Amino acid sequence: MRLFGRKDQELFALFNESARMVIRGGEILRNVVYDYSDLDVKMAKLTAMEHEGDRIIQELVRRLNTTFILPFDREDAFQLVQKLSTTLDYITGIIDRMILYKAGEPDDRVKEMVEVLYEALQLQEQAFHLLVRIEQNKKQILKCCQEISQLERKQDLLYRNGVAYLFEHHENDPMSIIKWREVYEHIEMAQDHVQDVGELISNICVKYS
């Protein structure tokens, strides 16, 4: 059985904390699409949380650079850090574009896309939590990663259908098409990064369990 020392446990704790920051960003995004009010307040909360997320990422990078032996491949670890950071950036970008473009209240298509993203973020957090006992939790970890992959395919379909809806129902309002299409793209890009994290975790699980 693979055993992890105190420094490994501290590293896993930082990964868990970073994943939790990302899901908190998802919670704020959900709150925005279901309650399209006090946007400046919500954006300020997300920005403050993003700064805290950056602090955690910086500490993770420092640990990775100064720890001689890691619980798994250094390159995999750095990719996980980068993907977590970028996912939170995209979540911030979704809300930022709604505000900047004055896009208006999100419709049911946006809400459904955000729900799919949030579900994937929950699975991502669960996978990180399980990773500390990689051999014992291998089956559960791989199940989380498989479900994340399924959600990414669902999101692709929602994105295509959403863009088709924009062109069908807003053909006389090209600015609305441009605004909402970019919001859709940012949701899908966030989903793609969660999928990338799922694949990395799955590969780590297979290699080290």
- Number of structural domains in the chain: 1
In a domain? residue 121: yes
Domain that holds residue 180: 6-208
In a domain? residue 20: yes
> Taking the model in full, what pTM does it have?
0.91
In a domain? residue 1: no
State the CATH number of the domain containing residue 149. Answer: 1.20.58.220
142 vs 148: CA distance, rounded Å: 10
Q: Which residues have C-beta within 8 Å of that of residue 55, sequence separation ≥ 6?
A: none
Give the residue carrying structure tokens 């100064």.
Answer: 66
Per-residue pLDDT of the chain (209 residues; tens, 9 = 90+): 444 455 667 788 888 899 999 999 999 999 999 999 998 899 899 889 888 988 998 988 888 888 766 677 778 888 888 888 899 999 999 999 999 999 889 999 999 999 999 999 999 999 999 988 888 899 999 999 999 999 999 999 999 999 999 999 988 899 999 999 999 999 999 999 999 999 999 998 888 76
In a domain? residue 101: yes
- In total, the chain counts a number of residues equal to 209
- Residue 29, φ and ψ in degrees, nearest 5: -60, -45
In a domain? residue 58: yes
In a domain? residue 38: yes
Report whether 23 contacts 122 (CB < 8 A).
yes
Pull the structure tokens for residue 169.
Answer: 């129902």
Where b means 16+ CB within 10 Å and e means fewer, 144-174 reads bbebbbebbebbeebbeebbeebeeebeeee
